Amino acid sequence: MIAPRRYLPSISALVAFEAAARHGSATQAAAELSLTQSAVSRQLRTLEEQLEVSLLAREGRGLALTPAGAAYVEKVRDILQRLAQASVSARTDPAAGALNLAILPGFGMHWLAPRLSDFATRHPEVTVNLSTRLKPFDFRTSAFDAAIHFGREDWPGVSYLPLLPEIVVPVCRPGLVEGEATDPKALLARDLLHLETRPRAWLRWFRALGADVDLPPGMVFDQFSTMAQAAIHGLGVALLPTFAADPYLARGELVLASDRTSESIGTYYLVWPSDRPESVPCRSFITWLAAQAESD
């Protein structure tokens, strides 16, 4: 319920009071507001009569706040600022804004980034900001609206949109392996390259093909791109997702190291906090990404 009219001064009276309090002068307040000094004085008098309290006292040629006026002006400034912000928001497209997205570097570079131009074309009102995060985090203490997650549905407090399974292929420099090995264990004769966030990826790949092996230690990398470069330079065999391997395979920089080419070791998801309403930009992104995943 709105307060009684007697407690709701006019905006013009509040603006005049705030300016006079800030300048300590009705004359300077009038100059700032493009009014006459008498008009500002009338606004101040009307405000005091409506509130039945003295807000300003004449002090020499200037005006000084009374204790009641000093307390009142702080609240008036806050109200005027919030009213101005609300007015700006009312004029702004409610669908506009920023989407802060946490991504995994390999997936972001090879799968998501090439598609973002389509989102920008369809939703020019949304600015997408990308930052790298390798592990789940607490949305309550971060500025992120959503994130790319790999693995299982084990991130607490989020909603999930499945994007695609991670299909991996073993790749190496041309000539490192003679043809495509028909026996997966033949790859053990070469150095195997590992990803820091997938320490068991090779083991799962071998076991999926029915080969129970003891893996020798090998070089460890923090990103698919650096591991791919190591493979290109002959440092070993890398296990890459198809979306990361395909460009290198197409250019002939890498070749398949086994005819047992693909096994799924997890799923990529878009996740966002389930305990707060989705912003319009976030909902636009979720809808668009769901269509991208379906058509991929």
Give the chain's mean pLDDT: 89
Give yes or no for a contact between 257 and 172, defined as CB atoms under 8 angstroms apart: yes
Q: Would the pLDDT of 261 be above 70? A: no
Question: What's 224's DSSP letter?
Answer: H
- The whole-number average pLDDT for the span 170-175 is 93
| Higher-scoring residue by pLDDT: 179, 114 | 114
Tell which residue, 272, 62, 22, has the closest CA to residue 157. Answer: 272
Domain 5-91 part of CATH 2.130.10.30: no
What's the token pair of residue 166? 């991670």
pLDDT beyond 90 at 96: no
Asked whether residue 270 carries a pLDDT value surpassing 90, the answer given is: yes
Residue 84: predicted pLDDT: 81
Counts for the chain of helices (H) and strands (E), in that order: 10, 11
What tokens appear for 214 in the block? 């003891």
Helix (H) or strand (E) holding 195: strand 192-195
- The pLDDT value recorded for residue 90 is 59
Domain boundaries, the chain: 5-91, 97-164+267-295, 166-264
Check pLDDT > 80 for residue 181. no
Decide if pLDDT at 2 tops 60. no
Q: Answer yes or no: same fold for 5-91 and 166-264.
A: no
**What's the rounded mean pLDDT across residues 195-213?**
86
CA 240 from chain centre, in angstroms, equals 26
Mean pLDDT, residues 174-178: 86
Residues 6 or more apart in contact with residue 188 via CB below 8 angstroms: 213, 215, 216
- pLDDT of 125 over the 70 cut: yes
CATH class of 97-164+267-295: alpha beta
166-264: CATH superfamily = Periplasmic binding protein-like II (3.40.190.10)
Does 163 have pLDDT greater than 80?
A: yes
State how far the alpha carbon of 192 is from the alpha carbons of 109, 179, 204, 210, 236, in Å.
Answer: 23, 17, 14, 18, 5
